[in-house]
Amino acid sequence: MFLVFTALASLTSFLDFLLHLAIGWFWHLEKTAPALLPQWQGILLPLGCLVLGTWLVHRFTRWWISAKGSRLEWKAAHTLSATALLLLGAAAAIALSGVVHQAVWLSDTTWWTKNRMYARTSATMNIRQLQIAITDFKSSHGRYPDSLAEIESSRQFQYVSPGANKPPEPVLYLKPDEAYSHDADSDGNGQVILVSPLLEYERYVVGFTSGATHTVHGSGLAKVIEASRMPSNIER
């Protein structure tokens, strides 16, 4: 019974879609026409220009065909058809621009943030910006910052949303140990200095002193941090 109900609901949705596709513009016209009627004076000018332009094009086309000595009889229906095609092409271009506009708008809404890759991508971008800020700080002061609060330019990247409809959480900063080599581990990534909050699907994004970023499962985070700070990395 449940399957029958689901099938009927799907069929109803499909028929509703076809109905809107076929005659939806009538409902749109019903909503927009009342707003346009009080401005009929402004519609008369472009409408008059369209009629005049169509008539001039028709007359010019008939004269041009006659001047070439062609036996083709250009009728008013031909001109009206060409004008209608031109207007439909312009309407299609406007509709396409509307689709693009809506697609861009949707990409900045909660619908997009529900995608499983959004939180990971956002966290990765924030950590990379923080890595740049930390590198600049070290170049200017000759040391790593004691905390991210010392870096004014990084404040907007210090919080990451773990997922859709979740409040932003701070990025964890692990100050590098100056006694350790920053690029002597097996992967050449150096020490872990930045860790994102726990994202959806039990993932963390971590940033290294080398500028590399990796996504690791929650169960393996402690091992990654420990491996990057093993005593074997101490400079000799």
Amino acid 119: pLDDT? 83
Burial class (CB in 10 A: 0-12, 13-18, 19+), 21: exposed
Q: Which residue has the tokens 């019974």?
A: 1
Residues 131 and 226 both lie in one domain: yes
| Residue 48 in tokens | 């008059």
pLDDT at 185: 52
In a domain, 86, yes or no: yes
Closest CA to 147 of 175, 128, 170, 168: 175
* C-beta of residue 127 within 8 angstroms of C-beta of residue 194: yes
At 100-157, the pLDDT tens digits run 877 776 665 554 445 557 788 889 999 999 999 999 999 999 999 999 999 988 888 9
For the chain, the domain total comes to 2
Give residue 188's Cα distance to chain centre: 34
Output the six-digit token pair for 207.
Answer: 């940033």
- Is the same domain home to 134 and 98? no
The pTM score is 0.50
User: Given CA atoms 112, 116, 117, 122 in this order, what sign does their dihedral have?
Assistant: positive
When pLDDT is averaged across residues 32-47 and rounded to a whole number, the result is 68
Name the most confidently modeled range: 10-14, 31-35, 100-104, 209-213.
209-213
Q: Which of 53, 86, 108 is at the close of a domain? A: 108
Whether residue 164 contacts residue 128, with contact meaning beta carbons closer than 8 Å, is answered with no
Domain that residue 206 falls in: 115-233
Question: What are the pLDDT digits (tens) for 131-145?
Answer: 999 999 999 999 999
Co-location of 61 and 132 in the same domain: no
- Distance CA(196)–CA(202), nearest Å, equals 11
pLDDT, position 121: 87
